[in-house]
Amino acid sequence: MADFAKNKEGFTLDKLLTLLGDIDSQPDWRTPATKACAYYDGDQLSEAVRKVLRDRGQPEIVHNMVGPTIDGVLGLEARSRSDLMIVADDEQGEELAKALNEKFKDTWRLTNADRACSDAYASQLKAGIGWVEVTRNPMPFAAPYRVKFIHRREVWWDWNAQEADRSDARWMMRKKWMELDEALATFPDHKEILKQSVNQWEDFLNTVDEEHTEDHALHSAWHDSQSWNRATSEWLDQQRKRVLLQVIYYKVWKRAHIIRLSDGQVIEYDKNNQVHLAAVESGRVQLEYAAFPKVREAWFVGPHRIIDRPSEAPDGMYNLIPFIGYQKDASGEPYGLISRMVPAQDGINMRVIRLNYLLQARRIIADEDATQLGDQRLKEEVEKPDGYIPLNPERKNKTKASDAISIQNDVGIAAQQFNLMQNDMKLIQDTAGVYNSMLGQDSNATSGVAIANLVEQGTTTLAEINDNFHYSRNKVGELVLAYNIEDLKPQNNVQVTVNRDDKAKRKQIVLNEPNENGKRNNDVARWKGHIALAPVKATPTYRQQQATLLSNVMSQIPPEAQAAAMPMFVELMDLPNKEEFIATLRQALNIPKPQEDMSEEELAAAQAQAEKAQAMEQLQMEEIQGKLEELKLKREELKAKIIEIQKRTETEEVKDDKLIAETEKILAEVRRSNAEVAAMKSTVQANIQQQLDAIKV
């Protein structure tokens, strides 16, 4: 075949035709998926039902309960959305994780990745599957990466894949219609082939003798177009001058040497890399043989392959991430919430149509000669509120008019139809696991606890499909991070500002900083970590709920504890310049900052203050110790005086007023000394307890 990709061993035309044949034999899950999306849009009546309604003169009434229910689930995702964050697997990588996290957040924001994932979640709920594509942006003036939602009609994949993200698929295909001028600008080396294809190679045959086509440079391409055994309309729209671009991502298995590093990383051995050669020759690493796949991508326009190259996605990953709702056990076909709701929705529409028809329809029982009106005219007059039906004076049955003609209706069974419709409406929410309280509507639950329990019950019912969504969203984050790391690897001294919104914590981290040992500090090539959900949800509704709970707790604790909890309460509010307000509040309430929130200057000031307080405390302790020693000596002197007085009393046997007064004076000094010693002991104990209380457990 003509291989304009200059790769004779790549994805050939025969392989493409085989792949398209495999696609044709896959289960038809796309038709019910399209029907489910139509039900969400309100297009729920078949053409046969529409024809009957037109014949009856009834309006096409659809009571769409599917749309609001799905919108409620989508609203829950938007309200409870958490940011993705990068977490290091070891302590040595924490600073690197902070810097990569800033790079990752910028990329995630600039590519509108949250919007792409939300659109994929909507498709996951409706059709059962949605896709997100992560690529480098081909637009030179836009963001360097592109995260884009891809419609299910543009993606096909290996049906034998089993992994939740289809990472074990042997191939994936993306189809996209392109205008001819866009294709010519995108693939300038293949202008002639594209032009000839759109013209059905008429110009080629007009300018080249068919007997000498083998000598022409475009012969191989012309031969491919002639050997194409599928409909031309599959890839060519001659009226609009469009061609179908088919990008096949396929795996090629190889067996080669690998190197296991000391930190657990595994890399492919490159014999042209001097570092690899030196590491092997020194004996620091050992070569191992291993089998592993590499992902390549082949681009086809109809039968013509124009690109066949290694995939631009890093680390052997696919560019496409699936968001799968549920899967059928027998066939693996994806389906969403709406598939479970279709029978109940059909029941609702049928009851609504039936109710309207019962209110409109009339049954006529009449003798053949009851009136002189024709059948159609009689029906029209019966349906009119002021209809005129003259009886036939020559009729045979002249006893009573009701014996000749009777007009009946079935309004009596309308109540039964209405009850069945109410049951179907409840069944829609039951099958989806969504309740009125989750949709902000009235429900039988009246207390706040009961409503919260219903919301929690619905969240539990949706846990499976939401877990699939978070898994796929994390995979999108991993692919975005892999692109960031791949582009950062060849760069040195990349400065990243972390905590830009907090002046106190703001600092610079340098990535890939060369050191004296010939290595690099914060080397992104040695990154070991993972993507995780942020511990705090970023939505205003969630913060408001947390603020309400904290407010209830603060109302039941002492005022001193309320002051300590006030910064936490303000942190949950959406205020401008919130960090400055919290800092002012802490200063006013004399609440110290946590050490992790302090800047380097604040840490130094706090340490100096602590050292000063410790020195003052040491001086106080020395002063107290001196006073204790002084009181101890004084007590010894008093004891000696008491002993001397006792001896004098025993020897002289004299008791006068002077001696009694002197004894009372000495005893009073002893009591005062004991009181001072007790007070000092109490002061020391209180000081020790205060230091114990200041210790943070």
Model confidence over 298-353: pLDDT tens digits? 998 888 888 899 999 988 899 999 999 999 999 999 999 999 889 888 888 888 88
Name the residue range of residue 269's domain: 170-315
Residue 692 pLDDT grade (very low, low, confident, very high; cuts 50, 70, 90): very low
| Same structural domain, 212 and 185 | yes
Q: Which two tokens stand for residue 604?
A: 């130094």
pLDDT for res 3: 44
| CA distances for 285 relative to 18, 259, 279, 281, 607, angstroms | 43, 7, 6, 9, 46
Residue 136 has a pLDDT of: 93
Q: Is the per-residue pLDDT at 662 higher than 80?
A: no
Give yes or no for residue 198 having a pLDDT over 70: yes
Q: Percentage of the chain surpassing pLDDT 70? A: 76
Q: Assess whether 593 and 613 both reside in one domain.
A: no
Of 49-53, 147-151, 407-411, 592-596, the one with minimum mean pLDDT is: 592-596
Our count of domains for the chain comes to 4
In a domain, 571, yes or no: yes
pLDDT, tens digit (0-9, with 9 covering 90-100), for 439-495: 555 555 444 444 444 445 546 778 889 999 999 999 999 999 999 999 998 888 888
CA–CA separation, 326 and 597 (whole Å): 44
Q: What is the mean pLDDT of the segment spanning 27-46? A: 93
Averaging pLDDT over each range in 226-230, 519-523, 547-551, which range is the top one?
519-523
User: In the listed set 570, 597, 624, which residue is the last one of a domain according to the structure?
Assistant: 597
The answer to whether position 159 is within a domain reads no
Which of 297 and 189 is assigned the larger pLDDT? 297
CA distance 131 to 127: 11
Band of residue 265 on the pLDDT scale cut at 50, 70, 90? confident
* 120 vs 517, residue with greater confidence: 120
**259-263, 619-623, 624-628, 654-658, range with the lowest pLDDT:** 654-658
Is 468 inside any structural domain?
no
pLDDT band at 573 (very low <50, low <70, confident <90, very high): confident
Domain boundary among 560, 577, 597: 597
681 shares its domain with 653? yes
| pLDDT (average), residues 672-687 | 67
Asked whether residue 658 carries a pLDDT value surpassing 80, the answer given is no
pLDDT at 410 over 80: no
Element containing residue 634 per DSSP (H, E): helix 600-652
**Average confidence score pLDDT of the chain:** 79
Whether 240 and 347 share a structural domain = no
Instruction: Give yes or no: residues 671 and 604 share one domain.
Output: yes
Mean pLDDT along residues 677-693: 60
Q: How far apart are CA 422 and CA 414, in angstroms?
A: 12
Position 557 scores a pLDDT of: 81
Asked if residue 308 and residue 183 are part of one domain, the reply reads: yes
Segment 74-89 shows an average pLDDT of: 84
At which of 597, 615, 633 does a domain end? 597
Q: How high is the pLDDT of residue 474?
A: 93
C-beta separation of 66 from 428 below 8 A: yes
Question: Helix axis angle, 657-694 relative to 600-652, nearest 10°?
Answer: 160
Q: Do 296 and 195 share a domain, yes or no? A: yes
297 shares its domain with 205: yes
Instruction: Report pLDDT for 33.
Output: 95
Residues 219 and 178 both lie in one domain: yes
Q: How far apart are CA 350 and CA 355, in angstroms?
A: 9
Choice among 42-46, 117-121, 416-420, 592-596 with the minimum mean pLDDT: 592-596
Task: Say whether pLDDT at 539 is over 70.
Answer: no
Residue 28: pLDDT band by 50, 70, 90 thresholds? Answer: very high
Confidence (pLDDT) at 267: 82
> 592 in a domain, yes or no?
yes
d(CA 684, CA 668): 25
Check residue 174 and give its pLDDT.
94
- 540-554 and 559-571 are packed helices; what angle lies between their axes, rounded to 10 degrees? 180
Q: Please check whether residue 505 lies inside any domain of the structure.
A: no
Q: Please give the average per-residue pLDDT across 69-88, as a whole number.
A: 85
Region 23-39: mean pLDDT is 93
Based on the fold, state whether residues 587 and 605 are members of the same structural domain. Answer: no
Shared domain for 410 and 349, answered yes or no, is yes
Residues 375 and 305 in one domain: no
Query: Per-residue pLDDT averaged across 240-254, rounded?
Result: 90
Higher confidence at residue 427 or residue 542?
Answer: 427
Q: Does residue 53 fall inside a structural domain? A: no
Flag whether 408 is in a domain.
Answer: yes
**Residue 182 within a domain:** yes
Element (H, E) at 85: strand 84-88
Q: Which of 255, 246, 359, 390 is nearest to 308 (CA)?
A: 246
pLDDT for res 446: 47
